[in-house]
Structures are given as structure tokens and as C-alpha cells.
A and B are shown apart, each in its own frame.
Chain A
């Protein structure tokens, strides 16, 4: 089974900061990785699919990169609406595995 390791678990940052979250797969997964944002009491919202494709309607300050085993989500300039928990997920037609999540907090 593929294991996903996401870090950091918590990130304290200020509005305007550049933020990077990393996700590492135990085996190569190509580009079958998505990033989602979750706010308390709400369903996860997909930001990035296939490692680097920006979902429709998602601000361009969000970007994803990587392939194989190492992936990153970057927020170029953190906005007040971005304080939330972020998850990476490996997905394909056979299985799906989630990272442990990164909580982005106000510094």
C-alpha cells in the first residue's frame, strides 16, 4: 500500500507569507496527487488535481508541483481566507490514501 507523509503538521504564518506544504509518497505515484483545503465543519475543497492542475475557481496564489514521490503545495501570498487544514491525497482507480493534514494557523 502507498503511504503518504505530509509535513509540517502545523504551520504558523502571517498574511502575505509564502507557504509551502510537502507530501511524500512511499512509492512512486506518478502525478496522481491532489490537494484539498478543509475548514471546520465543511467538506474538503479540491484545490489542485493531478499534482499541478488548478481546479476551476481556485485562486492562482495556490500552486502544486512534483511527481513520483515528492510533492508540494505552495500558497504564494497567504490570505485571511487561507487559514485552514490542508490534505494531500494519492488517488487512482484502485485506491486512495490521505496525508495526515497540515493546519495553517495565524502567527
Chain B
């Protein structure tokens, strides 16, 4: 059973960079697609992007210019950076892992608030 845990600052100032890390346990990083998803308060879910163990990235076109992701298979971690944040980026951020057979595992989420 794959388990994921998001960590990172809960408060980020406008125009700065949001940074989050997801730590994976119970699964092989080489087999899964790893992604970030967010949910603004009271709203629906938005996919941010995927990263693979190879480092290949697919991002949501609406966020692509501000998103960077990385993976560290030795630490079983993958990370998200979102730059030039505004209050519209306030959300609960989830990391997920998807197996080749389509099973999808989610972290518990972490709230990031953008405020001065």
C-alpha cells in the first residue's frame, strides 16, 4: 500500500515561491506517476502536473510557466515549486501516486495560504 505525506510551509508571501515535498512509502518510485493536485477553499480539484522517476514532467498548461517539479528516488521524494504566487494560489495541495494499473493513492493534503 503506497502512502504519501506532503510537507512544506503553510504560509507564503505574495510574489514568492511555494515549495512542497511529498515523501513516499510502501511503493516503488520507478513504477508510478507522481502528481500534484490542489483545491482552493470551497472549490473543485485542479491538476498541477505529473513527474516521473526519470524526471519527465507533464504540467497543466494553465500553470506551466510557474511550475517546476523534481524527483529524488534515493529519498523517495518528489517536490513542487510554484513561483510568483498570488492569493489565488491559496489551496490545499495534494500529492498522489498512480500505478500502471490505474490505482490512485493520495496524501492527506496540506493547506498553503498566500498572504502578506
Interface of A with B (CB < 8 Å)? 1, 32, 34, 43-46, 49-50, 53, 55, 87, 89, 91, 93-98, 100-101
CB–CB B47/A95 < 8 A? yes
Q: For residue A1, which residue of chain B has the nearest CB?
A: B61
Contact B33 A49, beta carbon cutoff 8 Å = no
Q: Is B45 within 8 A of A50, CB to CB?
A: no
In the bound complex, CA of A55 to CA of B45 (Å): 20
A67 vs B25: C-alpha distance in the bound complex, in angstroms?
32
The 10 closest A-B pairs by CB, nearest first: A96-B47, A50-B102, A98-B45, A49-B102, A43-B109, A43-B108, A46-B104, A43-B106, A94-B58, A101-B44
CA distance A89 to B104 in the complex (A): 11
Contacts of A93 in B (CB 8 A): 33, 50, 58
Q: How far is the CB of A34 from chain B (nearest CB, A)?
A: 6
- Is B103 in contact with A55, judged by CB distance below 8 angstroms? yes
| Given A46-B103, A95-B58, 5 further pairs, Cβ under 8 A | A43-B94, A46-B104, A46-B106, A98-B44, A98-B45
C-alpha gap A17/B35 in the complex (Å): 35
Across-interface contacts of B108 in A (CB, < 8 A): 43
B14 close to chain A: CB less than 8 A: no
- Complex CA–CA separation, A90 to B45 (angstroms): 12
Closest partner residue, chain B, to A51 (CB atom): B102
B82 at the interface (CB under 8 A from A): no
Would you list 11 pairs from A and B whose C-beta atoms are within 8 A, ordered by A residue? A32-B102, A34-B104, A43-B94, A49-B102, A49-B103, A94-B50, A94-B58, A95-B58, A96-B50, A98-B44, A101-B44
Q: Which residue of B lies closest to A46 (CB)?
A: B104
Q: Is the CB of A96 within 8 A of B35?
A: yes
